[in-house]
A and B are shown apart, each in its own frame.
Chain A
Amino acid sequence: MTAARRRRAAGPLFVAPFLALFLLLFLAPLGYAAYLSLFQDRLIGGNVFVGLDNYTQALRDPQLLHGVGRVALFFVIQVPLMLLLALLFALALDSGLLRLARVIRLGIFVPYAVPSVVAALMWGYLYGPDFGPFAQLSRDLGLPAPDFLSDGRLLGSLANIVTWEFVGYNMIILYAALRTIPQELYEAAAMDGAGAWRIAWSVKLPALRPALLLTLLFSVIGSFQLFNEPNLLMKIAPDVISSSYTANLYAYSLAFTGQQVNYAATVSFLLGLVIVIASYAVLLTANRRRTP
């Protein structure tokens, strides 16, 4: 075997482990879900092939549409807030002006290390209308207790939990990106007379763009998959969080409460499609801005 041929043979070998796992853990379940979504397994009458019936039903299903609409709203409000906070923290840490920078960095990151189940339970307690600390405090002050779990506020309360959990994670990504900016750039900017703010705006931010895009993509996916937090808060606010509060929760309830595995597969498949489209839209707009 010549060296060139050997090199050519090595390529596939290197990607083989990835491809195998990709096939097994990603494409195979996806294919299976697609297959399932073409059937209907009824309690009476058994399993029948129904073609695209499940899809036409899903596209007209108000519960699904509301769920998707709700996470879209969540995404539009929560994600910019969270990323802005993460960006501010990253810039502050990177500026080197903070005292106790290590402690602060760890402090902001720690919530990410808390499992989301624990986080939701903890916040559920904090939000409690009878005994939660916020309610107690306002009662001590003679004010009415804020109801964080009411119809109008719940989405905001959820956004708060998710932000608390993921600010640190996104901050670390942005902070790491900041550390890779070559020192010479700063020196050059300083020579040109740029102050700290100017450097942040004109040097750091443009350099952060790929990292910001990455965090944004993760957030798109995370938002549309919202599940743990509403699922846990459901126990303390069952009248506000319905089984179709988010699209992901709906798919779960369909499969495990309603025994409609096939329809759940359809909903999951469509949800995946929505995520792909949303991610692509994000990439597209970001790229367009970069190449004027």
Chain B
Amino acid sequence: MPYFASASSPSPMSRRLFLSTTGALSLGAALTACGGGDSGGSPAAAEPVAQADIDKAMTTPTELTFWTWVPNIAKEVALFEKKYPAVKVKVVNAGQGTPEYTKLRTALKAGSGAPDLVQIEYQAIPTFTITGSLLDLRPYGASALKSTFVDWTWSQVSGPDGEIWAIPQDTGPMGMLYRKDIFDRHGIEVPGTWDEFAAAARKLHKADPDAYLTNLAANQVAAWHGLLWQAGAKPYATSGKSEITISVDDAVSRKLGAYWGGLAKEGVIGVEPDFTDSWYAALNKGKYATWITAAWGPVFLSGSAKATSGKWRAAPLPQWDAAKPSSGNWGGSTTAVIRSTKNPVAAAVFAQFLNSDPASAKMFATEQFFFPATKALLTDAAFVADAPPFYGGQKVNQVFADISSTVNSSFQWPPFLDQAATDWTETVGKSLADRTDTIRALGSWQSRMTTYAKNQGFTVKGS
């Protein structure tokens, strides 16, 4: 199962100061070192590690510990171990998303037990860079990979001073899955704009009181962040280490709040928690005619709503401005190296190999059905031509590959994402579930986060 439960992710931030990379395949230059000072985001770019040192590290017997929740990742790891027989990778499943981060945080605090590498979602990167827990991968040649990955993913893993905190693994550009049969039965066109979507929601629910056009889960801050992202919102911005702007109550957010809060209040959309038994049952029995989801959604749905095979299709998200199509991202993750690792070179090389080696990257798309983060795969004929019968033979990957290029690349995440997520569920999410004033709830979300950030020592600039 892909990444839903937790929230969202990192920062575009300026990409100035990228190290000019040494040569094509450059895995680096001088200086071993575990990059930089000890608190996250030391601005001085560490010097590249010399190729000779890398070669030496990769032929010295080493064991790396890697926390990940990807099923059967041993296949990808085997490719790496075949190329570098001296380095062994011990794969540990420490839980998916938040449970893993909780364990990691505990291990980091305790000062022992942290792995060398960790799978981490885009949205959680700033939460760990603020505590200085991730290793800047620039000295190990990561800069050379910039053009390998989809642009917006690279800005998500980059720090404000050009640091490279992680290597993208998979992505979740958002789109809409819909029930063609229900649309046809009620004469509903695939909505191209959010206005059309709202009209369709009213129409469907009026025609069939047991059905809703969609469900906006009151516990799913990640979906909300994705929709904010699509709308071009800038809810979080950091400048320097201790200055943060929180504006989850600005004009764009209010537009979203009025829209979704309004539909919820009217009772024409569902608001039940997602990824629960009840929600699965609802998707299977056609209570919802669309699922607003991400690129990992199609495979996930075909596994959990088998009874509805052949009835679904995929389309881009409805737009606020049909002339300028855009989308947000929900989910997807990366591989990061923990700063305390004793084998920074081997770990950094592994992180890069795992996600950028063409064979390994392809395996993620074909074995785990991950939605790729590399440009090469998104244009790979074999990948985009896939036409699963669950979607009536539609080329679903092509739909999402097209969406991927419309994802805005300037979205940033707060350095305390878990708190932001909890606060959202208890304010905005609750207003949706209770069908009360969502705009006012946005204000509560803003003030709760502001208070938290101040208590944590940040200088807060708000909307």
- List A residues at the B interface (Cβ < 8 Å): 42-45, 125, 128-131, 151, 235-239, 242-243, 253, 256-261
Contact = CB atoms under 8 A, between A and B. Distances in A.
A239 B419 contact: no
Nearest to A131: B281
Contact of B457 (A42, A130, A237): A42
Contacts of A238: 218-219, 273, 425, 429
A239 B430 contact: yes
A258 B276 contact: no
Contacts of A129: 278
Contacts of B70: none
A251 to B, nearest CB: 14
21 contacts: A43-B416, A43-B458, A44-B458, A45-B242, A128-B277, A128-B278, A151-B434, A236-B278, A237-B273, A238-B273, A239-B219, A239-B271, A242-B425, A242-B430, A243-B426, A256-B418, A257-B419, A257-B422, A258-B452, A259-B105, A259-B419
Contact of A239 (B218, B278, B422): B218
A42 B433 contact: no
Given A43-B131, A43-B416, A238-B219, A131 B457 contact: no
Contacts of B102: 256
B297 interface: no
A128 B272 CA distance: 12
Interface in B324-366: none
Given A43-B415, A43-B458, A235-B273, A130 B429 contact: no
A235 B130 contact: no
Contact of A125 (B277, B282, B419, B434): B277
Contacts of B455: 42, 260
Nearest to A239: B433
A130 B281 CA distance: 8
Given A238-B429, A243-B426, A258-B419, A44 B241 contact: yes
Nearest to A121: B277
B416 A131 contact: no
Most B-side CB within 10 Å, residue of A236, A259, A260: A259
B433 A258 contact: no
Contacts of B112: none
Given A44-B457, A258-B418, A235 B426 contact: no
A43 B457 contact: yes
B456 interface: yes
List the 8 shortest-distance A-B pairs measured between CB atoms, nearest first.
A239-B433, A44-B457, A238-B219, A42-B457, A45-B457, A43-B456, A44-B242, A257-B418
B276 A236 contact: yes
Contacts of B419: 257-259
A261 B109 CA distance: 11
Nearest to B458: A44
B130 A43 contact: yes
Given A44-B242, A243-B426, A256-B102, A236 B456 contact: no
Most B-side CB within 10 Å, residue of A130, A243, A260, A261: A130
Nearest to B423: A243
A45 B421 CA distance: 23
A130 B282 contact: yes
B303 to A, nearest CB: 19
A44 B273 CA distance: 34
A164 to B, nearest CB: 20
Contacts of B457: 42-45
A44 B422 contact: no
B422 A253 contact: yes
Most B-side CB within 10 Å, residue of A128, A236, A257, A260: A257
B278 A243 contact: no
B422 A130 contact: no
Contacts of A239: 218-219, 271, 273, 425, 429-430, 432-434
A128 B271 CA distance: 15
Most B-side CB within 10 Å, residue of A43, A235, A253, A256: A43
Nearest to A238: B219
Nearest to A46: B457
A242 B105 CA distance: 23
A129 B277 CA distance: 10
A129 B433 CA distance: 14
A104 B421 CA distance: 47
Contacts of A258: 416, 418-419, 422, 452
A242 B429 CA distance: 11
B133 to A, nearest CB: 12
Contact of A131 (B271, B278, B432): B278
Contact of A130 (B219, B242, B278): B278
Nearest to B105: A259
A82 B394 CA distance: 58
A261 B106 CA distance: 11
A259 B416 contact: yes
A130 B105 CA distance: 37
B8 to A, nearest CB: 15
